[in-house]
């Protein structure tokens, strides 16, 4: 009889611990956090795995705009209303894409298909593009701006070395 009470007491203790972990942030919170993080990662990787790329490619039609046999822009010939290209970038039919990420179309692209690949990749990486619309160049999407390099340090190499030795970080870079 004493053994039965001991076993029941042990089982009740284990049940209380399991319930407490589930309610107070033990196993239950860990599982919920893991599931939430997993879903976020899946959404971020979706464009890079091809799932989002296919949808993006189906939402837009472009062709190369050439001058002198050289591609100078990518002309948006058709846009699917509510599609990814319109939703993310805000592209419109007639827009001329002149820059994708850091690459100028006239300097880097040789064909419309190559430009289409760069554009889909830029969407996957959430990079900005520059379009010519109504004779103005605008950055799309509006919330994303092209990345700027680090601040320019106009001091010479020898001057920077001397400043580092003598000032040891007392003066910000960029001036003498």
pLDDT digits (tens, 9 = 90+) for 28-83: 667 778 788 878 877 776 655 555 566 788 889 999 988 888 889 999 999 998 88
Give me 31's structure tokens: 């599982």
pLDDT at 87: 86
CA distance 106 to 66: 9
Kindly indicate the confidence band of residue 24, based on its pLDDT and cuts at 50, 70 and 90: low
Is the pLDDT higher at 26 or at 160? 160
**Residues 71 and 105 sit within 8 Å (Cβ to Cβ):** yes
**Residues 100 and 88 sit within 8 Å (Cβ to Cβ):** no
pLDDT at 159: 78
Buried b (16+ CB within 10 A) or exposed e, 55-87: bbbebbbbbbbeeeeebbbbbbeebeeebbbbe
pLDDT at 150: 55
Q: Could you state, in order of their start, the residue ranges of all structural domains in the chain?
A: 53-140
pTM of the model: 0.54
Whether 7 shows a pLDDT value over 60: the answer reads yes
Is the pLDDT higher at 145 or at 114? 114
Q: Can you tell me which residue has the tokens 């020898």?
A: 158
Q: CATH 2.30.42.10: does it fit domain 53-140? A: yes
Is the pLDDT higher at 91 or at 68? 91
């Amino acid at each position: 009889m004493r053994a039965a009470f001991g076993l029941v007491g042990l089982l009740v203790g284990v049940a209380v611990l399991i319930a407490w972990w589930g309610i107070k942030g033990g196993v239950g919170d860990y599982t919920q956090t893991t599931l939430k993080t997993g879903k976020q990662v899946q959404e971020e990787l979706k464009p890079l795995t091809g799932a989002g790329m296919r949808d993006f490619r189906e939402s837009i039609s472009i062709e190369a705009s050439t001058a002198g046999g050289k591609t100078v822009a990518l002309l948006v010939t058709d846009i699917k209303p509510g599609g990814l290209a319109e939703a993310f970038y805000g592209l419109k039919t007639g827009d001329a894409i002149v820059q994708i990420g850091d690459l100028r179309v006239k300097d880097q692209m040789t064909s419309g298909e190559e430009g289409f690949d760069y554009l889909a990749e830029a969407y996957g990486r959430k990079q900005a593009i520059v379009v010519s619309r109504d004779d103005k160049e605008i950055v799309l999407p509006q919330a994303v701006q092209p990345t700027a390099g680090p601040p320019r340090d106009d001091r010479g190499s020898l001057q920077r070395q001397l400043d580092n030795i003598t000032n040891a970080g007392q003066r910000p870079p960029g001036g003498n």
